[in-house]
Amino acid sequence: MNHPKTIISAKMSLGEDDQTITDKANQPHALSHPSSPPPQQPLVKMVLAELRAQRGIALPLVAMNLAWFAKTAITTAFLSRLGELNLAAGSLGLSFTNVTGLSVLNGLCGAMEPLCGQAHGAKNIKLLHKTLPMTTLLLLMVTIPISFLWLNIDKILILLGQQQEIAIVAKSYVRYLLPNLVVTSLLCPLRAYLSSQCITLPTLFSSAISLAFHVPVNILLSKAMGLRGVAMAVWITDLVVVILLATYVWILECSKRNGSRWKEGGWWDQHIIDWIVLLKLCGSCCLNTCLEWWCYEILVLLAGHLSSAKQSLGVLAIVLNFDYLLYSVMLSLGTSVSTRVSNELGANQPGQAYRSACVSMAIAIITGSIGSSVMVAARGTWGAVFSHDASIIKGVKKMMLLMAFVEVFNFPLNICGGIVRGTARPWLGMYANLCGFYFIALPLDLVFAFKLHLGLAGLLVQEVPRHDVNHVHEEV
């Protein structure tokens, strides 16, 4: 982070047509240390200005992601009303789809943050335009092998040692979730395209509308089709967001300069070098996101091997639903700092980018403490929202106390991830996750949960050293 460089000016100006940006944006940076702010601006003024800039991005994203993850909580609530088996199988199926599909698609789409963010900062409209259809096409192609994997979920889960009864029910859930792959492939690029330009309100409003539809659609389909109906409700309400955002992007581009933004081109003006650059970024972004998502999903898979698998899976699903609500805030802050850093680097302002990163880290420490306190306060009532089983409610109360401590580290870690994405260095996060979880935390998981017989608590207690290692790596 000492000398961030823009990838738009010298490295990312793809194709001859992209040389239309200003000469200033095309010049390589002669960087001074970015920690030295402009001397004429007082520190307090700079911090307040940055807070205002991030507020405009982060607050709508927080509300949007809260609505987004509230849908996951609603889905889990409807699964729990269908019985313990459906809750366990649905949770396992959802974890499987996250591990093998949604994490991959979201990770690949992560390349749009530095590309579109720095293109927007450098006024490189053609690069901004061409990245959207390229990423969408790439995601749609990736859904084909993922679909075959999902159709064989029962065989894979049984091979991994899961109970056959749970695996068969999970297959029924995942089969009706298949259309969500296509919907996600369309939705993720649209959201990234808008957020990289600091446009967040349309995504917020469309997500709120989708959430409003989610409950009645679940009620209708769960009564008519049971577990399969709950799965269908997920992608049906997501499709509403896709339609609304696609309509907004069309109107946005047509309205700017009397539609001249369309004529400025770039939409289908791809060259082989464009694909090479995109695929390079997509690879590291995908690995970074997958390694991060898989941390928690592996916990779910390991919970299925505990002696009380059904109860452990139910408890973990409910606890993680609260964690998803806090993660929606972390994700918003991470996207906000990624947008700010990439926009400033694209505009050839590395000092401003460094300031954005520092302010975001301070915000992360404060919000992490608040989030942890909220989790402790809610642990007595959260379990009863999803289940009437006394053992599950008791387990949720115990596990939420442990997870509350983890959240203090989670917030700064996610901000670090946003910073490295904004600087087009997602490989830093990849190595941090690899060392923190897979080399340190996962072996501790196995020892605490199965050798020392600590059960579900043993699966979660290792999160603290994992976050310490990740934070140190990403700070370096």
Burial label, 42 (beta-carbon count in 10 A; 0-12, 13-18, 19+): exposed
Query: Quick one: pLDDT at residue 431?
Result: 78
DSSP structural state of residue 102: I
Residue 389 has pLDDT above 90, yes or no: no
- The CA distance from 389 to 304, in Å, is 18
Share of the chain above pLDDT 70, in %: 85
> Among 436, 268, 352, 276, which residue's Cα sits nearest to residue 53?
352
Phi and psi at 301, nearest 5°, equal -65, -40
The DSSP output letter for 441 is I
pLDDT (0 to 100) of residue 456 = 81
The position carrying tokens 């390079």 is 280
By three-state DSSP, how is residue 181 classified? helix
State mean pLDDT over 287-295.
79
Half-sphere exposure of 286 (CA within 13 A, CB side): 18
Task: Give residue 76's identity as a one-letter amino acid code.
Answer: T
CA dihedral (233, 236, 239, 240) positive or negative: negative
Q: pLDDT at position 150, please?
A: 94
Alpha carbons 119 and 342: distance in angstroms, whole number: 8
Angle at 286 between CA 284 and CA 291, to 5 degrees: 95
Comparing 90-94, 252-256, 346-350, 384-388, which segment has the lowest mean pLDDT? 252-256
Chain segment 408-432, per-residue pLDDT in tens: 888 888 888 888 888 878 777 777 7
Report whether pLDDT(163) > 70. Answer: yes
Q: What is the pLDDT of residue 260?
A: 53
d(CA 181, CA 174): 11
Contact 293, 103 (CB under 8 A): yes
Confidence check: pLDDT of 117 > 60: yes
- Does residue 214 sit in helix, strand or coil? helix
Q: Is 277:12 a contact under the CB 8 Å cutoff? A: yes
Amino acid making up residue 67: A
81, two tokens = 């009303």
pLDDT at 462 over 70: no
Which pair of structure tokens corresponds to residue 431?
A: 């190595």
Average pLDDT, the chain: 80
C-beta separation of 41 from 381 below 8 A? no
pLDDT surpasses 60 at 473 = no
Between residues 376 and 3, which one has the greater pLDDT? 376
What does the alpha-carbon distance between residue 58 and residue 242 come to, in Å, rounded to a whole number?
21
Q: How confident is the model at residue 248 (pLDDT cuts 50, 70, 90)?
A: very high
Does the structure show a pLDDT above 50 at 161?
A: yes
Q: What is the pLDDT of residues 172-225, one digit of tens each?
A: 999 999 999 999 999 999 999 998 888 888 988 998 999 999 999 999 998 889
Residue 118's pLDDT is 85
Q: Is 61 left (phi over 0), alpha (psi -120 to 50) or beta?
A: alpha
**pLDDT per residue as tens digits for the range 326-362:** 888 888 888 888 888 988 888 888 888 888 888 889 9
- The closest alpha carbon to 407, from 299, 333, 303, 330, belongs to 330
What pLDDT does 262 receive? 53
Domain coordinates in residue numbering, the chain: 40-475
Residue 263 pLDDT: 54
Q: How far apart are the first and last CA of the chain?
A: 8
